[in-house]
Structure 1
Amino acid sequence: MGPQAVRFGILGCSSVARRRSIPALLAQPGAALAAVASRDPEKAKAIAAELGCAATGYDELLTRDDVDAVYLPLPTALHVPWGLKVLAAGKHLLLEKPSATSADGARQLVRAAADRGLVLRENFTFPHHAQHATVARLLAEGRLGQLRSFSGAFCFPPLPATDIRYDAALGGGSLLDAGVYPIRAAQLLLGDDLTVAGSSLRVDGRTGVDVAGHALLVSAAGVLADVKFGFEHTYGASYTLWGSTARLTVDRAFTPPATWQPVLRIEEQDHTEEHVLPAGDQWSAAIASFTTAVAAGHHAGHPAEAAGLRSMVRTMELVEDVMRAATRVAA
């Protein structure tokens, strides 16, 4: 822990926090873990003892003087109410994705962060992996010729019946949980100026949540984008960019292990090549980027932060458009 380390409180001891975010945070020289909060006091005490920090309740966490920033991995439907409380308490906020269940909720968070002069980040970690910057560079250099289409997918097998992603009241459903990944990848590579041309959702009659879906989008430059998502499939996380002279595919695009060496496959009419890239820990990179912004005195109105927040809000606008346009079929 360095002298200027950002002191974190964890609001909600979720699986993703325990498996991914907390280890990444503990490994960061620019970060320190001050306290963890859980609805279950005994759970908080056990985790705090394991991690060497304080155990608190949700509200108490927000009053602690030794907490500069809060990481919030609660269910999606709780992001806005608790996120607004975090920001009102004067704490920087690293919010697990997606930011909200609606575009209006995302806008509320942005306004609150801007009013208080705080850093607000949505914890999409995959854009922090260097493989996507390499893809963007190849696109800009014209390696694929004129880009014609983007196709992205994030799917995985069914979850336990008790999983919160089957609970509509908590913001469940595959669009909010998985579909936001290829949508955000399309934004990253094609720009935020996307429109939804059509969509379909498979809806579970028992839970009322979508368990799979497919959407067609179009960029301002006329590039066609299709995204697929769901949790009733074998695992897959990839995207393909198809240009006038070549096609590029990225596998393990969204959740590569820290030891994974990405392979970019480029196919032409009579030639195929593979670029093996260095491994990268996107979780660690995301935490490092957030702590660097806080330490530098950034806030929601800073140009770099504002651009990210515009994309965050735009993601939720596109999610709402997918929902409105959807033809729904029974799962």
Structure 2
Amino acid sequence: MNARVRPLRLGALATSSIARRRTLPTAVGMPEVELVAVAGRSVDRARRFAGQFGCEAEPDCAALLRRPDVEAVYISTPTSLHHVWADRALRAGKHVLVEKPLGVDADEARRLCSLAGERGLVLRENFMFLHHPQHAFAEDLVRRGRIGTPSAFRASFCIPPMPAEDIRYAPGLGGGALLDVGVYPLRAAALLLGRGSRVAGATLRVRASDGLDLSGQALLVSPSGVLAQVTFGFEHAYASSYTLWGDKGRLSVTRAFTPPPAHRPELVLVEQDHEERFTLLASDQLRTCLQDFTAAVRGGARGEESAEADLREEAIALMECVDDIRARAVRVAVDDRP
């Protein structure tokens, strides 16, 4: 009988909303994870988190990183601080799961990925949707030729306006629609079309007062010549979907990025005179993401030829695309909102 693998001893850096609502409740319910400690800017808030999730509270994030019993950290600080704390965690010898994206630009992503590779540590973004089986199912349909030769891709992730005090409206904290929701359809394009798409054009609607991007679109060209359009923003009724067209059919994923754990996905394949709907089993993509992170830490296969190296390259490629969109975008100034 195999010995039971001990749980991954995890520390949480930051007392964010997503940590409180989603990540930590899932983590503490998993036998693969033991939440050891939490730390943030407010000691009182860290203590409330500790009481809620049954762990210890540290006076600050640096103290948490000094703990020898913390093997890995989950970082959910504002985006502008992802690089700062991921860098410190890696230098402290901790594996890192950080909320997406890795940093605010490709340079930050490159530096973190290089450091993780040098130190043989796992560094992953918390892109939960990549761990949902509906996307592997979609890839398999395309691979089997059900839509023929792909020629066009369209993806959207849009949400309604948020309260004015939301940190995603704070430019100094890495706010803006491109870094928050835009990275999802861009990452989906890389998943379905391959890494290395070129930016052919982009537009951003920005706040007149400070230039913060509220929404946008980008046109991409994949390495194989597929044309892609991605739409994102904080100014829309909710949308979370993608569609891939080919010369024989059109495949749509209707709840692509944030399906609830109990949701049974429905993929729609439309051919010339035929429509087929595939209803899949429900899946908790966050739980699977955490399981995969734990397995990567325990597996130890983190050399330059490993899957971890490939994931690091994908993270860098995403941020290179973000930088290119920023550089090429036509900006349309709009009245401040909210």
TM-score, scaled relative to structure 1 = 0.98
Whole-Å separation in 2 of the counterparts to 1:140 and 1:269: 19
Letter of the structure 2 residue corresponding to residue 44 of structure 1:
A
CA contact (8 A) 1:118 1:300 kept: no
**Structure 1 residue identity aligned to 2:13:** L
**Residue 106 of structure 2 is aligned to residue 119 of structure 1:** no
Aligned residue for 1:263? 266
Match of 1:95 in 2: 98
Measured after TM superposition, the shift of residue 187 of structure 1 is: 0.2
- Higher mean C-alpha displacement, 292-301 vs 76-85: 292-301
Matches within 5 A, 1:213-292: 213-292=216-295
Contact residue 129 and residue 282 of structure 1 kept, 8 A = yes
Which region of structure 1 is more displaced relative to structure 2, 47-56 or 176-185? 47-56
Q: For 1:43-58, what aligned pairs fall within 5 Å after superposition?
A: 43-56=45-58, 57-58=60-61
SS at match of 1:222: coil
Moved more, 113-122 or 277-286: 113-122
Question: Could you list the runs of 4 or more consecutive aligned residues of structure 1 that deviate by over 6 angstroms after TM superposition?
Answer: none
Q: Are 1:9 and 2:11 matched, yes or no?
A: yes
2:209 alignment counterpart: 206
Residue correspondence of structure 1 range 64-213 to structure 2 within 5 A: 64-213=67-216
For residue 326 of structure 1, the aligned residue among 322, 326, 329 is 329
Q: Alpha carbons of 1:243 and 1:41: their partners in 2 closer, same or farther (altered >3 Å)? A: same
1:298 aligns with 2:274: no
Structure 1 counterpart of 2:21: 19
Alignment identity in percent?
A: 50
Unpaired runs of 5+ in structure 1?
Answer: none
C-alpha RMSD of matched pairs (Å): 1.0
Helix, strand or coil at the partner of 1:80: helix
Q: Deviations over 1:100-150 (max 9, x none)?
A: 101010011011111211110111010100000000000110000110111
**d(CA) in 2 for partners of 1:160 and 1:143?**
43
Separation in 1, partners of 2:83, 2:175? 15
* CA displacement at 1:207 relative to structure 2: 4.0
Mapped to 2, the partners of 1:300 and 1:69 lie a distance apart of 18
Q: Give the secondary structure class of the aligned counterpart of 1:162.
A: coil
Aligned mates of 1:202, 1:175 — CA distance in 2 = 11
Distance across 1 between alignment mates of 2:11 and 2:222 = 39
Q: 1:205 is matched by which residue type in structure 2?
A: A
Q: Which runs of 5+ in 2 are unaligned?
A: none
SS in structure 2 opposite 1:237? strand
Measured in 1, the distance between the counterparts of 2:259 and 2:299 equals 29
- Shift, 1:304, TM fit: 0.7
Amino acid in structure 1 at the alignment position of 2:38: V
Q: Residues 259-285 of structure 1, C-alpha deviation per residue, up to 9 Å, x if partnerless?
A: 000000111221111110111100000
Instruction: For 2:136 and 2:5, locate their aligned partners in 1 and report how far apart those are by CA, in whole Å.
Output: 31
* Match 2:66 to one of 63, 67, 74: 63
The amino acid across from 1:200 in the alignment is: T
Q: Which letter does structure 1 place at the counterpart of 2:43?
A: P
SS state of the match for residue 36, structure 1? strand
Q: How many residues align?
A: 330
The range that moved more, 39-48 or 203-212, is 203-212
Farther off after superposition, 316-325 or 19-28: 19-28
**SS of residue in 2 equivalent to 1:82:** helix
| Further displaced range: 23-32 or 233-242 | 23-32
**1:5-43 deviation per Cα after TM superposition (whole angstroms, max 9, x unaligned):** 110000001011111111221122111100000111111
Q: Distance in 2 between matches of 1:88 and 1:18?
A: 26
Compute the TM-score of the two structures, normalised by the length of structure 2: 0.96
Measure how far apart 1:299 and its partner are: 2.8
CA contact (8 A) 1:166 1:207 kept: no
